[in-house]
Every structure is written in C-alpha cells, then in structure tokens.
C-alpha cells in the first residue's frame, strides 16, 4: 500500500475538484456559472493613490485610454466649475462610459 503524502492528497483533491467544477452546472441553468449577474464593482483610476499628481482631465483621459471604468472625483476642481461646465463634464464622462469612484 502506498503512503498518501500531503502533496499527493492536495494534487488529487485539486484535480477532482477541477474536474467536478468543469462538468457541473447549477440546477435549472443552461448557461455556465461564469455568466452570472452583472458585476457590482468597477475598476477606477485613482491617480493620487498611485503617487501621480495630475489634473482631473488627465485622469479622465488616462482612464479612458487604459480601459478603466471610472475615476476618483475631485471636489476642489468641481467647486470651481459653473453649473454649465459641470453639466458638460458629466456629459463628457457619460460619453466615455466613465463613472465616479468613492469620494
């Protein structure tokens, strides 16, 4: 009889779980499990948190260019905008499919 080592146990268990996961589906579902509900979170670009000091406009352009879904709001920048400028900014973000992250 061969001795079952911890390494063999983990390998066999992992292989078995992977095979089970690949072949099983939830009852009543015809789509794979990966096609679940829409995500609740989205990726935002937060320049200050990565040590980069840029303008809000720069962060918007970088977020759009590199595929982020949102940007951190800049309260000081927004306070200096007129109502019309703020409306244009919000329309611009919507046209680029960007949202605000948590303030």
Number of independent structural domains in the chain: 1
Mean pLDDT of 69-92: 93
Residue of higher predicted confidence among 11 and 26: 11
Question: In the structure, what pLDDT confidence band is assigned to residue 41 with cuts at 50, 70 and 90?
Answer: confident
Residue 27 scores a pLDDT above 60: no
Tokens at 26, concatenated = 């939830």
Sign of CA pseudo-dihedral 37, 43, 44, 50? positive
Residues whose CB falls within 8 Å of the CB of residue 13, separated by 6 or more in sequence, listed in order: none
- Assigned domain for 24 exists: no
Domain enclosing residue 82, as ranges = 44-100
- Assigned domain for 50 exists: yes
């Amino acid at each position: 009889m061969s001795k079952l080592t911890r390494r063999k146990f983990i390998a066999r268990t992992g292989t078995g779980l992977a095979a089970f996961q690949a072949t099983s589906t939830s009852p009543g579902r015809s789509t794979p499990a990966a096609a679940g509900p829409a995500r609740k979170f989205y990726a935002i670009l937060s320049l200050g948190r990565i040590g980069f000091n840029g303008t809000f406009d720069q962060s918007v352009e970088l977020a759009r260019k590199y595929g982020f879904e949102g940007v951190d709001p800049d309260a000081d920048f927004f306070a200096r905008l007129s109502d019309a400028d703020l409306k244009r900014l919000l329309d611009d973000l919507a046209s680029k499919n960007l949202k605000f992250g948590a303030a």
